[in-house]
């Protein structure tokens, strides 16, 4: 505030009304001529009506003596002698402060205050960085009255603090602040339209949202309507997440959603359709094939489930190994294996298929039973040439006995045999009778099928092998 006094008379008290508050500084600037100039940076502290007031001269000009600088605060003759200050006592006072208010998003809130000896009001808000005046607009009404209305209230106003200033002239009193609590409406992010998992895997479904959220309830569509997911195996509900710990193939195509309850309202998520990829298994294994030398043959397998993959293996006569397309083989990665121009060397070869999946599910694969390839098999002992080391007859056999006769280098002492079924399991073992005689094997308890007979020497090394059919 600047107060001007023109042509003031020396020695006469000049009265100036300057509104001040406790602790403010009063600066005095005067002129009394153009000769000499003077500035005094010192200050004087006084007390007015119990309030400390600081006085300070600045840039004072006046007629100075030629020597010595007078102290203008000590009333030298012919100069401004003193400054008298008067403190105005304010009677404006807040008599009631606003109370905290809790509402829902988009609703309105009212804050009220009252005061005495007041001309106008001003409401302020603290959004986290200090109080500032607010103006009437889309969210506020009555900002210069004793009743503030907060309208169309967004969730972002949650935690705002409001206070009221009561004012008259230079007098101001400030109310206590009151907090606004805004409970947000339920706003949910859409669930994926589709999601995929594997049978017997663990699957998590999760809903995300904002607002004042209280509880979650997952539902599944059954028989024309949604029902609550039971809180039992294989389901585990934990807040906004549903865990299916062991996904069954019966859940393929099921629809899930989540009902979220908030303080102010209830929201329902979009629907999610769950695709369950089953692990393919062997449904029909390959069948044995009997062929003549030079014929083209096929082995086929059928799998259950979608996204099946196939890898064929052959064992002849050793352990199984994967085969590749090329040469006599084609279709090694399909359900039908083609073998071109089989030869007698392949007699007794075993073929099997490992069924996997392309769905992304982790599986070791399902291995089929093997199928036996027989090339020009003997039908009686008379059809066996003299160069055969081991002869099995009758073959096929419908009786309870199978005979083994050894020829050539195999006709030595201490030989033994073992009979292996199609799964590779040894079902019979025994010793070969004396050289030059036949050995009888009781096959009466064996189920119908094709079996492999291996001839072993006394060091358990394979000497010969052949197969027979049990009718």
Contacts for 224 with CB less than 8 Å, ≥ 6 apart? none
Write phi, then psi, for 145 (nearest 5 degrees): -120, 180
Distance CA 410, CA 407 (A): 6
Q: How far is CA 430 from CA 46, 300, 404, 454, 455, in A?
A: 127, 35, 11, 11, 10
> Could you tell me if 404 and 432 are in contact, meaning their C-beta atoms sit under 8 angstroms apart?
yes
Domain made up of 93-183: CATH architecture:
Sandwich (2.60)
CATH 3.30.365.10 assigned to 211-276:
no
The pTM score is: 0.56
| Number of other residues whose CB lies within 10 A of the CB of residue 120 | 11
Every domain of the chain and the residues it spans: 1-89, 93-183, 211-276, 281-375, 381-470
The class (CATH top level) of 281-375 is: mainly beta
Does this chain's domain 211-276 share its CATH topology with 381-470? Answer: yes
Q: Are strands 43-48 and 93-96 parallel, antiparallel or unpaired?
A: unpaired
What angle (nearest 5°) sits at the alpha carbon of residue 108, between those of residues 103 and 114?
A: 100
Mean pLDDT of the chain: 82
pLDDT in tens, 71-114: 444 434 444 434 444 445 678 999 999 999 999 999 999 999 99
pLDDT per residue over 171-227, tens digit each?
Answer: 899 999 999 999 999 999 999 999 999 999 999 999 999 999 999 999 999 999 999
Question: 3-state DSSP call for residue 148?
Answer: strand
CA distance 322 to 333: 10
- What share of the chain has pLDDT > 70, as a percent? 77
CB under 8 Å to 261, separation ≥6 — which residues?
A: 186, 213, 214, 215, 216, 217
Nearest to 441 by CA among 469, 408, 417: 417
Q: Output the tens digit of pLDDT for each of the chain's 471 residues.
A: 455 555 666 555 556 666 655 555 555 544 444 343 334 445 555 554 445 555 544 444 444 444 554 444 443 444 443 444 444 567 899 999 999 999 999 999 999 999 999 999 999 999 999 999 999 999 999 999 999 999 999 999 999 999 999 999 878 999 999 999 999 999 999 999 999 999 999 999 999 999 999 999 999 999 999 999 998 999 999 999 999 999 998 999 999 999 999 999 999 999 999 999 988 999 999 999 999 888 999 999 999 988 899 999 998 766 888 988 887 889 999 999 999 888 777 888 899 999 999 888 888 889 999 999 988 754 444 434 334 788 888 888 887 889 998 887 777 778 899 998 766 678 999 998 876 678 999 999 998 877 888 888 888 888 888 878 888
Classify 39 as helix, strand or coil.
coil
Q: Does the domain made of 381-470 have the CATH classification 2.60.40.1220? A: yes
């Amino acid at each position: 505030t600047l107060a001007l006094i023109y042509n003031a008379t020396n020695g006469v008290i000049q009265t100036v009304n300057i509104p001040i508050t406790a602790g403010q500084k009063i600066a005095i600037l005067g002129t009394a001529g153009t000769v000499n100039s003077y500035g005094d940076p010192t200050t004087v502290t006084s007390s007015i009506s119990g309030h400390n007031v600081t006085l300070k001269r600045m840039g004072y000009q006046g007629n100075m003596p030629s020597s010595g600088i007078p102290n203008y605060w000590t009333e030298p003759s012919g100069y401004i002698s003193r400054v008298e200050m008067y403190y105005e006592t304010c009677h404006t006072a807040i008599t009631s402060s606003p109370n905290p208010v809790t509402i829902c998003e988009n609703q309105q809130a009212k804050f009220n205050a009252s005061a005495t000896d007041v001309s106008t009001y001003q409401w302020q808000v603290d959004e986290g960085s200090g109080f500032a005046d607010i103006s009437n607009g889309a969210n506020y009404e009555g900002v210069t009255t004793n009743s503030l209305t907060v309208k169309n209230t967004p969730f972002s106003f949650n935690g705002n603090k409001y206070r009221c200033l009561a004012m008259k002239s230079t007098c101001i009193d400030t109310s206590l602040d009151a907090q606004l609590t805004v409970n947000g409406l339920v706003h949910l992010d859409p669930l994926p339209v589709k999601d995929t998992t594997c049978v017997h895997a663990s699957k998590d479904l999760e809903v995300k949202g904002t607002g004042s959220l209280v509880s979650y309830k997952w539902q599944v569509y059954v028989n024309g309507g949604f029902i609550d997911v039971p809180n039992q195996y294989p389901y585990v509900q934990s807040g906004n997440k549903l865990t299916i710990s062991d996904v069954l193939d019966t859940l393929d195509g099921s629809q899930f959603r989540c009902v979220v309850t908030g303080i102010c309202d209830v929201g329902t998520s979009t629907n999610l359709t769950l695709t369950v990829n089953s692990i393919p298994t062997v449904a029909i294994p390959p069948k044995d094939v009997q062929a003549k030398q030079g014929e083209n043959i096929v082995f086929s397998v059928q799998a259950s489930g979608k996204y099946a993959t196939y890898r064929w293996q052959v064992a002849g006569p050793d352990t199984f190994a994967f085969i590749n397309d090329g040469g006599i083989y084609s279709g090694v990665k399909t359900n039908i294996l083609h073998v071109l121009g089989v030869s007698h060397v392949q007699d007794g070869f075993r073929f099997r298929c490992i069924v996997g999946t392309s769905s992304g599910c982790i599986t070791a694969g399902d291995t089929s039973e093997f199928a036996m390839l027989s090339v020009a098999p003997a039908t009686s002992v008379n059809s066996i040439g003299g160069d055969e080391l081991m002869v099995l007859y009758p073959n096929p056999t419908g009786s309870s006995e199978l005979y083994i006769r050894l020829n050539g280098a195999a006709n030595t002492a201490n030989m033994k045999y073992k009979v292996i079924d199609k799964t590779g399991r040894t079902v019979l073992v025994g010793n070969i009778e004396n050289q030059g005689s036949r050995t009888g094997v009781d096959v009466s308890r064996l189920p119908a099928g094709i079996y492999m007979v291996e001839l072993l020497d006394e060091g358990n090394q394979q000497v010969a092998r052949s197969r027979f059919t049990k009718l």
